[in-house]
Protein backbone atom coordinates (compact mmCIF):
# COMPACT_ATOMS: atom_id res chain seq x y z
CA UNK A 1 0.00 0.00 0.00
CA UNK A 2 1.32 3.38 -0.99
CA UNK A 3 2.27 5.56 1.96
CA UNK A 4 0.69 8.96 2.31
CA UNK A 5 3.03 11.92 1.82
CA UNK A 6 4.83 13.04 5.02
CA UNK A 7 2.79 16.25 5.27
CA UNK A 8 -0.51 14.34 5.20
CA UNK A 9 0.77 11.84 7.81
CA UNK A 10 1.78 14.76 10.02
CA UNK A 11 -1.62 16.40 9.68
CA UNK A 12 -3.39 13.13 10.45
CA UNK A 13 -1.30 12.74 13.58
CA UNK A 14 -1.55 16.35 14.75
CA UNK A 15 -5.21 17.06 14.03
CA UNK A 16 -6.65 15.05 16.98
CA UNK A 17 -4.06 16.59 19.28
CA UNK A 18 -4.89 20.07 18.03
CA UNK A 19 -8.60 19.44 18.51
CA UNK A 20 -8.04 18.17 22.06
CA UNK A 21 -5.85 21.19 22.84
CA UNK A 22 -8.48 23.57 21.43
CA UNK A 23 -11.18 21.93 23.57
CA UNK A 24 -9.01 22.30 26.67
CA UNK A 25 -8.31 25.94 25.85
CA UNK A 26 -12.03 26.59 25.40
CA UNK A 27 -12.68 24.95 28.78
CA UNK A 28 -10.04 27.13 30.43
CA UNK A 29 -11.44 30.27 28.80
CA UNK A 30 -15.00 29.52 29.94
CA UNK A 31 -13.85 28.60 33.45
CA UNK A 32 -11.95 31.90 33.62
CA UNK A 33 -15.04 33.77 32.38
CA UNK A 34 -17.21 32.05 34.98
CA UNK A 35 -14.74 32.86 37.76
CA UNK A 36 -14.62 36.48 36.61
CA UNK A 37 -18.39 36.72 36.54
CA UNK A 38 -18.63 35.20 40.00
CA UNK A 39 -16.05 37.67 41.33
CA UNK A 40 -18.08 40.54 39.86
CA UNK A 41 -21.24 39.24 41.51
CA UNK A 42 -19.38 39.12 44.81
CA UNK A 43 -18.24 42.74 44.32
CA UNK A 44 -14.57 41.76 44.07
CA UNK A 45 -14.00 43.40 40.71
CA UNK A 46 -15.39 46.55 39.11
CA UNK A 47 -16.69 46.52 35.52
CA UNK A 48 -14.46 47.96 32.84
CA UNK A 49 -14.91 51.72 32.62
CA UNK A 50 -15.86 53.63 29.49
CA UNK A 51 -12.68 55.30 28.22
CA UNK A 52 -13.29 57.10 24.92
CA UNK A 53 -16.10 58.23 22.72
CA UNK A 54 -16.14 58.02 18.93
CA UNK A 55 -14.70 61.52 18.69
CA UNK A 56 -11.56 60.57 20.58
CA UNK A 57 -12.31 62.27 23.91
CA UNK A 58 -11.96 60.61 27.30
CA UNK A 59 -14.07 60.52 30.42
CA UNK A 60 -12.88 59.91 33.96
CA UNK A 61 -14.31 57.65 36.63
CA UNK A 62 -17.17 58.88 38.74
CA UNK A 63 -19.95 57.78 41.06
CA UNK A 64 -22.55 57.38 38.30
CA UNK A 65 -22.18 54.79 35.54
CA UNK A 66 -24.46 54.13 32.57
CA UNK A 67 -24.61 50.58 31.17
CA UNK A 68 -26.05 50.25 27.66
CA UNK A 69 -27.93 46.94 27.57
CA UNK A 70 -29.72 47.36 24.24
CA UNK A 71 -29.14 49.92 21.48
CA UNK A 72 -31.53 49.00 18.67
CA UNK A 73 -34.97 50.33 17.78
CA UNK A 74 -37.89 48.10 16.90
CA UNK A 75 -36.46 46.76 13.65
CA UNK A 76 -36.07 43.19 12.54
CA UNK A 77 -33.43 41.38 14.64
CA UNK A 78 -29.99 42.90 14.05
CA UNK A 79 -26.62 41.17 14.61
CA UNK A 80 -24.96 42.34 17.82
CA UNK A 81 -27.80 44.65 18.88
CA UNK A 82 -30.94 44.19 20.94
CA UNK A 83 -33.84 46.46 21.76
CA UNK A 84 -33.42 49.52 23.93
CA UNK A 85 -32.44 49.29 27.59
CA UNK A 86 -29.88 50.88 29.87
CA UNK A 87 -29.14 50.97 33.58
CA UNK A 88 -27.75 53.72 35.78
CA UNK A 89 -25.48 52.26 38.44
CA UNK A 90 -24.91 54.23 41.63
CA UNK A 91 -23.86 53.27 45.16
CA UNK A 92 -24.19 49.59 44.36
CA UNK A 93 -27.75 49.88 43.05
CA UNK A 94 -29.14 49.60 39.52
CA UNK A 95 -31.84 51.91 38.17
CA UNK A 96 -33.20 50.45 34.95
CA UNK A 97 -34.59 52.47 32.01
CA UNK A 98 -36.61 50.56 29.43
CA UNK A 99 -36.38 46.82 29.08
CA UNK A 100 -36.05 45.64 25.50
CA UNK A 101 -35.43 42.01 24.61
CA UNK A 102 -32.36 40.29 26.14
CA UNK A 103 -31.53 43.14 28.54
CA UNK A 104 -31.30 40.69 31.46
CA UNK A 105 -28.92 38.48 29.47
CA UNK A 106 -26.68 41.36 28.40
CA UNK A 107 -26.48 42.72 31.94
CA UNK A 108 -25.75 39.36 33.56
CA UNK A 109 -23.00 38.28 31.18
CA UNK A 110 -21.49 41.77 31.55
CA UNK A 111 -21.13 41.07 35.26
CA UNK A 112 -23.97 43.19 36.63
CA UNK A 113 -25.78 41.75 39.64
CA UNK A 114 -29.47 41.90 38.75
CA UNK A 115 -30.34 41.39 42.42
CA UNK A 116 -29.26 45.01 42.99
CA UNK A 117 -32.06 46.44 40.80
CA UNK A 118 -33.94 49.01 42.85
CA UNK A 119 -36.26 50.53 40.26
CA UNK A 120 -37.30 49.97 36.65
CA UNK A 121 -38.60 52.90 34.57
CA UNK A 122 -40.40 52.28 31.27
CA UNK A 123 -40.70 55.20 28.80
CA UNK A 124 -43.63 53.70 26.86
CA UNK A 125 -45.11 50.30 26.22
CA UNK A 126 -43.96 49.53 22.68
CA UNK A 127 -42.40 46.09 22.45
CA UNK A 128 -38.84 47.32 21.79
CA UNK A 129 -38.96 49.09 25.18
CA UNK A 130 -40.85 46.62 27.33
CA UNK A 131 -40.54 43.22 25.64
CA UNK A 132 -37.74 42.07 27.96
CA UNK A 133 -39.45 43.11 31.21
CA UNK A 134 -41.07 39.75 32.10
CA UNK A 135 -37.81 37.93 31.44
CA UNK A 136 -35.84 40.50 33.46
CA UNK A 137 -38.03 40.01 36.53
CA UNK A 138 -38.05 36.24 36.01
CA UNK A 139 -34.23 36.22 35.82
CA UNK A 140 -33.95 38.13 39.10
CA UNK A 141 -36.07 35.37 40.64
CA UNK A 142 -33.84 32.68 39.13
CA UNK A 143 -30.70 34.33 40.48
CA UNK A 144 -32.31 34.61 43.88
CA UNK A 145 -32.90 30.86 43.89
CA UNK A 146 -29.22 30.24 43.23
CA UNK A 147 -27.61 33.05 45.22
CA UNK A 148 -30.29 34.42 47.56
CA UNK A 149 -30.38 38.03 48.64
CA UNK A 150 -33.81 39.10 47.34
CA UNK A 151 -36.17 37.66 49.92
CA UNK A 152 -38.32 40.42 51.38
CA UNK A 153 -36.98 43.10 49.03
CA UNK A 154 -39.00 45.31 46.67
CA UNK A 155 -38.40 46.32 43.05
CA UNK A 156 -40.37 49.44 42.20
CA UNK A 157 -41.70 49.47 38.66
CA UNK A 158 -42.61 52.80 37.03
CA UNK A 159 -44.89 52.59 33.99
CA UNK A 160 -46.87 55.06 31.84
CA UNK A 161 -49.76 52.60 31.66
CA UNK A 162 -50.48 50.23 34.55
CA UNK A 163 -52.31 47.85 32.23
CA UNK A 164 -48.84 46.73 31.16
CA UNK A 165 -48.12 45.61 34.72
CA UNK A 166 -51.37 43.63 34.79
CA UNK A 167 -50.22 41.78 31.66
CA UNK A 168 -46.67 41.16 32.93
CA UNK A 169 -47.95 40.02 36.31
CA UNK A 170 -50.41 37.63 34.68
CA UNK A 171 -47.59 36.13 32.58
CA UNK A 172 -45.23 35.77 35.54
CA UNK A 173 -47.94 34.04 37.55
CA UNK A 174 -47.93 31.23 34.96
CA UNK A 175 -44.18 30.64 35.35
CA UNK A 176 -42.03 29.40 38.24
CA UNK A 177 -42.91 32.69 39.99
CA UNK A 178 -46.40 31.40 40.69
CA UNK A 179 -48.54 33.62 42.86
CA UNK A 180 -45.85 34.35 45.46
CA UNK A 181 -42.50 35.59 44.08
CA UNK A 182 -39.61 35.84 46.56
CA UNK A 183 -39.58 39.64 46.28
CA UNK A 184 -42.23 42.30 45.92
CA UNK A 185 -42.87 44.23 42.69
CA UNK A 186 -44.51 47.56 43.35
CA UNK A 187 -46.06 49.30 40.29
CA UNK A 188 -46.27 53.10 40.03
CA UNK A 189 -47.85 55.28 37.33
CA UNK A 190 -45.55 57.79 35.62
CA UNK A 191 -46.77 61.36 35.25
CA UNK A 192 -44.99 64.62 34.46
CA UNK A 193 -42.74 65.69 37.31
CA UNK A 194 -40.71 63.78 39.88
CA UNK A 195 -40.76 60.02 39.36
CA UNK A 196 -38.70 59.25 42.46
CA UNK A 197 -35.97 60.53 44.74
CA UNK A 198 -33.76 57.88 46.30
CA UNK A 199 -30.32 57.90 47.87
CA UNK A 200 -29.39 61.21 46.25
CA UNK A 201 -30.68 60.23 42.78
CA UNK A 202 -33.62 62.19 41.38
CA UNK A 203 -35.51 61.08 38.27
CA UNK A 204 -38.07 63.36 36.61
CA UNK A 205 -40.39 62.75 33.67
CA UNK A 206 -41.68 64.92 30.84
CA UNK A 207 -44.16 63.58 28.31
CA UNK A 208 -43.25 63.29 24.63
CA UNK A 209 -45.46 63.44 21.55
CA UNK A 210 -44.35 60.02 20.33
CA UNK A 211 -47.79 58.50 20.87
CA UNK A 212 -51.12 59.96 19.85
CA UNK A 213 -52.73 61.93 22.67
CA UNK A 214 -56.19 63.37 23.22
CA UNK A 215 -56.89 66.22 25.59
CA UNK A 216 -57.90 64.95 29.00
CA UNK A 217 -56.25 61.56 28.54
CA UNK A 218 -53.04 60.60 30.36
CA UNK A 219 -49.75 60.82 28.49
CA UNK A 220 -48.35 57.40 27.56
CA UNK A 221 -44.79 58.23 26.46
CA UNK A 222 -42.07 60.04 28.41
CA UNK A 223 -38.51 61.28 28.43
CA UNK A 224 -36.51 61.54 31.64
CA UNK A 225 -33.73 63.23 33.55
CA UNK A 226 -31.59 61.43 36.11
CA UNK A 227 -29.55 63.68 38.41
CA UNK A 228 -27.03 62.76 41.11
CA UNK A 229 -23.74 64.08 42.47
CA UNK A 230 -23.93 67.21 40.32
CA UNK A 231 -24.32 65.19 37.10
CA UNK A 232 -27.33 65.18 34.80
CA UNK A 233 -28.43 62.55 32.29
CA UNK A 234 -31.26 63.27 29.85
CA UNK A 235 -32.97 60.39 28.04
CA UNK A 236 -35.28 61.46 25.22
CA UNK A 237 -37.28 58.25 25.11
CA UNK A 238 -38.98 57.98 21.74
CA UNK A 239 -39.60 61.59 20.80
CA UNK A 240 -41.29 63.76 18.21
CA UNK A 241 -38.30 66.09 18.26
CA UNK A 242 -36.28 68.83 19.93
CA UNK A 243 -39.27 70.64 21.42
CA UNK A 244 -40.14 67.57 23.52
CA UNK A 245 -36.88 67.47 25.46
CA UNK A 246 -35.54 71.05 25.17
CA UNK A 247 -36.91 71.97 28.64
CA UNK A 248 -34.71 69.24 30.13
CA UNK A 249 -31.38 70.26 28.60
CA UNK A 250 -30.05 72.85 31.06
CA UNK A 251 -26.87 71.48 32.62
CA UNK A 252 -27.05 68.23 30.65
CA UNK A 253 -23.85 66.15 30.89
CA UNK A 254 -25.05 63.22 28.75
CA UNK A 255 -27.98 63.30 26.33
CA UNK A 256 -29.15 59.81 25.35
CA UNK A 257 -30.98 60.48 22.10
CA UNK A 258 -32.94 57.99 20.06
CA UNK A 259 -32.23 57.70 16.32
CA UNK A 260 -35.06 55.37 15.37
CA UNK A 261 -37.16 58.35 14.24
CA UNK A 262 -34.50 60.99 13.57
CA UNK A 263 -31.37 61.58 11.50
CA UNK A 264 -28.40 61.80 13.92
CA UNK A 265 -26.65 64.66 12.08
CA UNK A 266 -29.88 66.71 11.98
CA UNK A 267 -30.28 66.24 15.74
CA UNK A 268 -26.68 67.30 16.34
CA UNK A 269 -26.87 70.38 14.10
CA UNK A 270 -30.07 71.57 15.82
CA UNK A 271 -28.53 71.23 19.28
CA UNK A 272 -25.41 73.16 18.25
CA UNK A 273 -27.46 75.85 16.47
CA UNK A 274 -29.64 76.32 19.56
CA UNK A 275 -26.57 76.53 21.81
CA UNK A 276 -27.83 73.49 23.74
CA UNK A 277 -25.19 70.88 22.91
CA UNK A 278 -24.72 68.58 25.94
CA UNK A 279 -21.41 67.47 27.39
CA UNK A 280 -21.81 64.25 25.40
CA UNK A 281 -24.42 63.49 22.76
CA UNK A 282 -24.86 59.71 22.85
CA UNK A 283 -27.08 57.98 20.29
CA UNK A 284 -29.06 54.79 20.94
CA UNK A 285 -32.36 53.16 19.83
CA UNK A 286 -30.80 53.05 16.37
CA UNK A 287 -32.78 53.24 13.16
CA UNK A 288 -31.80 52.67 9.54
CA UNK A 289 -29.30 55.55 9.30
CA UNK A 290 -26.92 54.02 11.84
CA UNK A 291 -27.82 50.38 11.25
CA UNK A 292 -27.31 50.56 7.49
CA UNK A 293 -24.81 53.41 7.07
CA UNK A 294 -22.74 53.75 10.27
CA UNK A 295 -19.57 55.09 8.62
CA UNK A 296 -21.51 57.73 6.70
CA UNK A 297 -23.15 58.88 9.93
CA UNK A 298 -19.79 59.10 11.68
CA UNK A 299 -18.45 61.25 8.86
CA UNK A 300 -21.44 63.59 9.05
CA UNK A 301 -21.18 63.91 12.84
CA UNK A 302 -17.42 64.49 12.73
CA UNK A 303 -17.98 67.48 10.45
CA UNK A 304 -20.06 69.30 13.09
CA UNK A 305 -17.85 71.58 15.22
CA UNK A 306 -18.30 72.04 18.95
CA UNK A 307 -19.81 68.61 19.56
CA UNK A 308 -18.81 65.52 21.50
CA UNK A 309 -20.74 62.49 20.33
CA UNK A 310 -20.88 58.72 20.53
CA UNK A 311 -22.83 56.05 18.69
CA UNK A 312 -23.64 53.54 21.41
CA UNK A 313 -23.61 49.77 21.16
CA UNK A 314 -24.79 46.96 23.41
CA UNK A 315 -22.43 46.55 26.35
CA UNK A 316 -21.01 50.10 26.23
CA UNK A 317 -20.37 51.86 29.53
CA UNK A 318 -20.24 55.60 30.27
CA UNK A 319 -18.76 56.93 33.52
CA UNK A 320 -19.73 60.33 34.92
pLDDT above 50 (res 103): yes
Residue 170, phi-psi category: left (phi > 0), alpha (psi -120 to 50), beta (remainder): alpha
Nearest to 318 by CA among 121, 67, 110, 54: 67
> Percentage of the chain with pLDDT > 90?
77
Same domain, 91 and 142: yes
| 181 compared with 27, residue with greater pLDDT | 181
What is the pLDDT, as a whole number, of residue 182? 79
Once rounded to an integer, what is the mean pLDDT over residues 248-275? 97
Same domain, 13 and 143: no
pLDDT above 90 (res 77): yes
In the sheet that holds 117-121, the strands lie side by side as 184-189, 154-159, 117-121, 93-97, 85-90, 64-70, 317-319
pLDDT above 80 (res 1): no
Same domain, 264 and 251: yes
Same domain, 60 and 21: no
Q: How far apart are the first and last CA of the chain?
A: 72
Nearest to 55 by CA among 305, 317, 274, 318: 305
Report the CATH number that the domain containing residue 130 is assigned in CATH. 3.60.15.10
pLDDT band at 191 (very low <50, low <70, confident <90, very high): very high
Quote the strand ranges of the chain, DSSP E: 64-70, 85-90, 93-97, 117-121, 154-159, 184-189, 193-198, 201-207, 222-228, 231-235, 254-258, 280-284, 309-311, 317-319
Once rounded to an integer, what is the mean pLDDT over residues 3-29? 50
What is the pLDDT, as a whole number, of residue 179? 66
Structural domain count, the chain: 2
Nearest to 102 by CA among 142, 67, 70: 70
Once rounded to an integer, what is the mean pLDDT over residues 141-169? 95
Same domain, 129 and 242: yes
Same domain, 11 and 90: no
Query: Which pLDDT tens digit goes with each residue over 119-140?
Result: 999 999 999 999 999 999 999 9
Say if residue 320 is exposed, middle or buried (CB neighbours under 10 Å; 0-12, 13-18, 19+). Answer: buried
Same domain, 120 and 225: yes
Same domain, 315 and 284: yes
pLDDT above 70 (res 54): no
pLDDT above 90 (res 117): yes
Same domain, 176 and 35: no
Which 3 state secondary structure label does DSSP give 16? helix
Strands 184-189 and 193-198: unpaired
Same domain, 135 and 22: no
Domain limits for position 32: 1-45
Same domain, 12 and 32: yes
Strands 309-311 and 280-284: parallel
Does this model's pTM top 0.85?
A: no
Same domain, 119 and 255: yes
Once rounded to an integer, what is the mean pLDDT over residues 210-219? 94
Once rounded to an integer, what is the mean pLDDT over residues 178-189? 86
Query: Which pLDDT tens digit goes with each residue over 32-46?
Result: 444 444 444 444 333
Query: Which pLDDT tens digit goes with each residue over 234-246?
Result: 999 999 999 999 9
Helix-helix angle 294-302:264-273, to 10 degrees: 10
User: Which residues pair with residue 282 across a beta bridge?
Assistant: 256, 310
From 30, 45, 60, the end of a domain falls on 45
What is the pLDDT, as a whole number, of residue 192? 98
Amino acid sequence: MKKAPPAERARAFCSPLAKTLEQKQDKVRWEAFDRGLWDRLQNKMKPKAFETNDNGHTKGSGTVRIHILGSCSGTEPMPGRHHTAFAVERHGGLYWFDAGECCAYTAHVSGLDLRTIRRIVISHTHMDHIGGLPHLLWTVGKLNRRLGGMDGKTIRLHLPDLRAWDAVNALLSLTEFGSSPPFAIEPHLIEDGTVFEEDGLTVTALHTRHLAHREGEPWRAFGFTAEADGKKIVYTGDTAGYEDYAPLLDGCDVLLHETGHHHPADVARRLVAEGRAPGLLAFLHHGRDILDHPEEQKTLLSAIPGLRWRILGDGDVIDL
